[in-house]
Amino acid sequence: MFVTAKIQKKDGTLQDYNRTKLLLSMMRAQASPNEAEQALSSVESWLSQLSVQSVNAQEIHLKVAEVLKGLNPQAAENYEIYRKSHARSKPQ
């Protein structure tokens, strides 16, 4: 699915949606490639239904965690832990 929405980062900048980046982040959280693809399809469907030009990155992260919980609860927990630790390690 082709997603045209821009992602609004924490600092306010806009970036193009990056499917690969999101897919890899789920697999780093120990989701299988199939689970990550399934979750990504759900997230992209949700994004396309929003009919907005930009989406806050935090909203996407919450949606990914929600979808992963239904597919692989441990991967969802790992994803949330990674996101929280990654957010703290970035300079403000």
What are the domain boundaries of the chain? 6-89
Residue 2 confidence (pLDDT): 67
Q: pLDDT tens for residues 56-91?
A: 999 999 999 999 999 999 999 999 998 888 766 655
- The whole-angstrom separation of Cα 35 and Cα 73 is 11
State the SS3 of 38-72.
HHHHHHHHHHHHHCCCEEEHHHHHHHHHHHHHHHC
Q: pLDDT tens for residues 16-46?
A: 999 999 999 999 999 999 999 999 999 999 9
Can you tell me the mean pLDDT for 3-25? 91
Residue 82 confidence (pLDDT): 84
